[in-house]
Structure 1
Amino acid sequence: MKIAIFGLTVSSSWGNGHATLWRGLIGALAAQGHEVIFYERDVPWYAGHRDLAELPGAALVIYNDWQDVLARAADFVDADALFVTSYCPDAVAASRLIADRARGVRVFYDLDTPITLGRLAAGRDVEYLPPEGLGAFDLVLSYTGGPALDALEKQLGAQRTAPLYGHVDPDVHRPVAAQPMFGGDLSYLGTFAEDRQALVERLFLEPARRRPEMRFVLGGSGYPQDFPWTDNIWFMRHVAPPDHPAFFCSSRATLNVTRRDMAAMGWCPSGRLFEAASCGAPILSDDWDGLDAFFTPDEEILLVSTPDDVLAALDRDDIELQRMAARARERTLSEHSSAERARELVGLLQTAPEYA
């Protein structure tokens, strides 16, 4: 298949989770014999933090303005599938161009469905949604499953919906040797977000306050100067994707914290969750509906809701934690790899009535 994608960014992983996901998925699609073109606008924020120059096996087109895209429309209008994604700067223009001229399956992929629906519920504009909704697309994919799919149909007129969950490239995210700079008792990798700060306080900062003899490691961008650091928290402003395996593998356990809207809707496994599992790291996570469909609690992952839960998990024997991590890694390689998601995606595209 020939697949064209208009997205946020694949060239920069700074402060967003889309890039790593697309890199894994596009790499898997290319390895399975598909032709992929990814279009992203040259936004200054990402241009200043670009950590990928080309997509192995695929094409990356970084354009300055929408007229550049229109001038080369012949390169993609014949694609078997054309994607527009959430937070794409030119999502509305791309949606209309695809509706008018595309010959293949028209797909909208919302990687931020709880945010989308939360803004709609609050009466706020969603800049990446066409004002007329999603009815012009043949398939609407959601990073979040469960009730989110019904909401996309009822509120935005989506004709056909399906989940396309997070995933991981196990060739990139794999067990590696620990590095002292990332070493600690508990790590947390995530950009600052106001709507998950309360959970970060409860599940990361409070345990750090209670156990000053332990080392806690936090990596991510956007944290404010008045963030309530403690002396036993080591901070990395940005952990580049090539360093993620060492980050996860260097602590006794790592923490997953879900943004409020995503947790409230459920069925929202983050890419970081699968990355950590693929690296063989023992995982502590907040709980939400549907989590047990991806990992079995107490066998492959530990659910925590209080500082006491976190400290009890850290008091477990290392051998027990590593056995749990090994089971999570095995399941991730079997069910949650980028290659598996690529096969799921192609199956969805090929069963669309518009696919020829």
Structure 2
Amino acid sequence: MKIAFYGSSLLSSYWNGAATYYRGVLSALARRGHEIVFYEPDAFDRQAHRDIEPPDWAKVVVWPATPEGLRAVVAEAPQADVVVKASGVGVFDDELVAQTMRAARKDALRIFWDVDAPATLAEIRSRPGHPISAAFDEIDLVLTYGGGAPVVNAYEGLGARRCVPVYNALDPSSHHPVPPDPRFACDLAFLGNRLPDREARVETFFLEPAARLPERAFLLGGSGWEHRSLPANVRHLGHVYTRDHNAFNVTPRAVLNIARDSMAATGFSPATRVFEAAGAGACLITDAWEGLELFLKPDEEVLVARDGADVAEHVASLTRERAEAIGQRALRRVLGEHTYERRGDQVDALLRQEIAAKREKNAA
């Protein structure tokens, strides 16, 4: 099948947490024979911060973020068997969801793929006549980055025909154990951009433990923290390119995952960072959220913290031997159950099932 995918960026992870997810799922689909064209806008300085060049498994069309650029890429939607509009493109989102779904061929499968379901659902509920809800009659399938039953029930309750979570996962060819790198040596590292619905949780789960443990070294990676007051034992790196993520994960004694407010409240939404860290064999400490045990077993494959005091206790008591054992168990778990090859099988089966059902319905 030819898939036209309208998303934020495949080439850059700069202010674009979905990049790893897109690369993992779409490359797996390409290995199953699908022809992929990814349409990403030239916006937010992402093209100047590419992590990868256009891959051999997808054609990437970088379009000018103008009305003319929008018209040009929408005009290509009828060429595809599957038309996907992802959430969070960042420019012309309303126009893209309405126009791509309308432009798709009658026999094509039309998908809205939500990479931030809690935020999208809140926006839909707050805006009567939201373009996504208005397009539910044309959208055949909603796929989500996570969220479990609460998100599925919410979407189908709002009028979606069908909603299926496709959880993020591990690409072992991209995220895997590597030798430690002295640049990232510390007791606890956290990687995440400074976002309004995450900052308070970063304060609680990272900066507060750093203040409690002044003799320990903490490392903060990500954009937006340049003007934030930090404890003296916290070193800020700025943006960390994906090529350095493996070393960033494997070098510290432990790495920290902090869910955004909406993801933590919804549950069943493991961040990409969870699988990147586990794939490198890192010892991961995560804030608590419902559904975690579906992916990693607490106390054996991951350490769980309810608050900053728990994080500080984990860091203070964690030996190198225990950290390595937790990391190795996590690596075995994700390699066995949570790779993008498995997600590729899931999505491939969904596409074929939905296309067959649609063609049967159209022929009736």
For this structure pair, what is the TM-score category when the shorter chain's length is used for normalisation? over 0.9
Identity of aligned residues (%): 37
Helix, strand or coil at the partner of 1:236: strand
Instruction: Report the Cα distance in structure 2 between the residues aligned to 1:174 and 1:292, rounded to whole angstroms.
Output: 22
Q: What whole-Å deviation, never above 9, does each CA across 1:8-67 have from its counterpart, x for those lacking one?
A: 111221112111211222222223332111001111432333333312321000112454
Inter-CA distance 348–250: structure 2 relative to 1 (3 Å threshold):
same
Instruction: State how many pairs are aligned.
Output: 352
CA shift for structure 1 position 76: 4.5
CA contact (8 A) 1:248 1:279 kept: yes
Which letter does structure 2 place at the counterpart of 1:272?
R
Instruction: Report the Cα distance in structure 2 between the residues aligned to 1:43 and 1:306, rounded to whole angstroms.
Output: 37
CA shift for structure 1 position 126: 10
Instruction: Report the Cα distance in structure 1 between the residues aligned to 2:156 and 2:232, rounded to whole angstroms.
Output: 49
TM-score, normalised on structure 1? Answer: 0.92
1:286 corresponding residue in structure 2: 287
Q: Calculate the aligned-residue CA RMSD, in Å.
A: 2.1
2:154 corresponding residue in structure 1: 151
Inter-CA distance 216–37: structure 2 relative to 1 (3 Å threshold):
same
2:33 corresponding residue in structure 1: 33
Instruction: Report the Cα distance in structure 1 between the residues aligned to 2:170 and 2:38, rounded to whole angstroms.
Output: 19
Inter-CA distance 80–239: structure 2 relative to 1 (3 Å threshold):
same
Q: Does 1:97 align with 2:103?
A: no
Q: What whole-Å deviation, never above 9, does each CA across 1:105-135 have from its counterpart, x for those lacking one?
A: 11100001111122344x25898x4361433
Instruction: Report the Cα distance in structure 2 between the residues aligned to 1:354 and 1:93, rounded to whole angstroms.
Output: 25
CA shift for structure 1 position 75: 5.1
Question: Greater shift after overlay, 71-80 or 329-338?
Answer: 71-80
Instruction: Report the Cα distance in structure 2 between the residues aligned to 1:254 and 1:262, rounded to whole angstroms.
Output: 19
CA shift for structure 1 position 241: 0.4
Question: Greater shift after overlay, 58-67 or 7-16?
Answer: 58-67
Instruction: Report the Cα distance in structure 2 between the residues aligned to 1:201 and 1:16, rounded to whole angstroms.
Output: 22
CA contact (8 A) 2:145 2:167 kept: yes
Question: Greater shift after overlay, 138-147 or 29-38?
Answer: 29-38
CA contact (8 A) 2:101 2:135 kept: no
CA contact (8 A) 1:119 1:125 kept: no
CA contact (8 A) 1:183 1:251 kept: yes
Instruction: Report the Cα distance in structure 2 between the residues aligned to 1:234 and 1:280, rounded to whole angstroms.
Output: 23
The unaligned stretches of length 5 or more in structure 1 are none
Which letter does structure 1 place at the counterpart of 2:122?
G
Helix, strand or coil at the partner of 2:119: helix
CA contact (8 A) 1:168 1:336 kept: yes
CA contact (8 A) 2:77 2:104 kept: no
Instruction: Report the Cα distance in structure 2 between the residues aligned to 1:2 and 1:93, rounded to whole angstroms.
Output: 22
Match of 1:117 among 102, 121, 125: 121
Q: What whole-Å deviation, never above 9, does each CA across 1:76-127 have from its counterpart, x for those lacking one?
A: 4242311000012334433333334323211100001111122344x25898
Aligned pairs for 1:197-216 (under 5 A) are 197-216=199-218
Which letter does structure 2 place at the counterpart of 1:117?
L
